[in-house]
Amino acid sequence: MAEKSVVILISGRGSNMQALLDARLPARVAAVISNNPQARGLGVAKARGIATAVVDHRAFPDRAAFDAALAQEIDRHRPDLVALAGFMRILTEAFIERYRGRLMNIHPSLLPAFTGLDTHRRALAAGVRIHGCTVHFVTPAVDSGPIIVQAAVAVLPGDTEEQLAARVLAQEHRIYPQAVRWFIEGKLKLEDGRARIDGECRFPEAVVSPLARR
């Protein structure tokens, strides 16, 4: 069986990208692509011998033109999965449909709560007691799509935005590699618009769902 491959899209430091690389997944990371020429994560990928590319959104007249160029660069690598890892661009419906069922994202909230930006600040302002992160398949609705796995952390008295963000980020770095591993190993499937997982996930520092399924 041919080795599966992943293309990772980033816009900044690429901490979730690095978590995917550190996880030693049973797949080849074919390329890391960014819309930002100054993205720090590009240097991390290059240092590990991974092909990198920049498709600068500012060089295109509109979102559709950018997405077409981005898809062309992705398709050069023939990936089985495209993983968004802090990729800060809203993608067009045509782009999302092109990679339906193999386009994955990590979002720093317990979706469907707190879609969009500034999730930790908004969670604190709302007074929630539980916050967290979500890995999901991408659909045209922003921060929507079938949920694959979530991790929840307690919101502690006196938490600052930075403290809460750090605890959530630690869980992002754990559940995103797990979700990608499920996909690569064929344990993750879309059925009737929902993600079904045959596998297990045990992280004692956070409440993670699904915990186990055999």
Q: What is the pLDDT of residues 155-173, one digit of tens each?
A: 999 999 999 999 999 999 9
Beta bridge partners of 208: 151
Burial class of residue 147 in the structure, from the number of CB atoms within 10 Å of its CB (0-12 exposed, 13-18 middle, 19+ buried): middle
CATH of the domain at 75: 3.40.50.170
Domain interval for residue 115 = 109-134+150-214
Distance CA 176, CA 15 (A): 11
Q: Are residues 90 and 155 in the same domain?
A: no
Q: Are residues 47 and 71 in the same domain?
A: yes
pTM value is 0.93
Let me know whether 88 and 173 are in one domain.
no
Query: 195 and 119 in one domain?
Result: yes
In the chain, the largest separation of any two C-alpha atoms, in whole Å, equals: 52
Question: Taking Cα atoms as reference points, which of 104, 109, 108 lies closest to residue 136?
Answer: 104
What pLDDT is attached to residue 212?
A: 46
Q: Are both 117 and 88 inside the same structural domain?
A: no
Least trusted range by pLDDT, from 12-16, 134-138, 192-196: 192-196
Question: Given this model, what pLDDT does residue 204 score?
Answer: 56
Q: Give me the active site residues, please.
A: 107
What's the pLDDT tens digit per position in 11-42? 999 999 999 999 999 999 999 999 999 999 99
DSSP state of 204: T
Residue 121 has pLDDT above 70, yes or no: yes
Angle at 106 between CA 162 and CA 175, to 5 degrees: 90
Same domain, 166 and 65: no
For 79, counting Cβ atoms within 10 Å of its Cβ (0-12 exposed, 13-18 middle, 19+ buried), the class is buried
Question: In this structure, are 163 and 183 located in the same domain?
Answer: yes
pLDDT of residue 210: 76
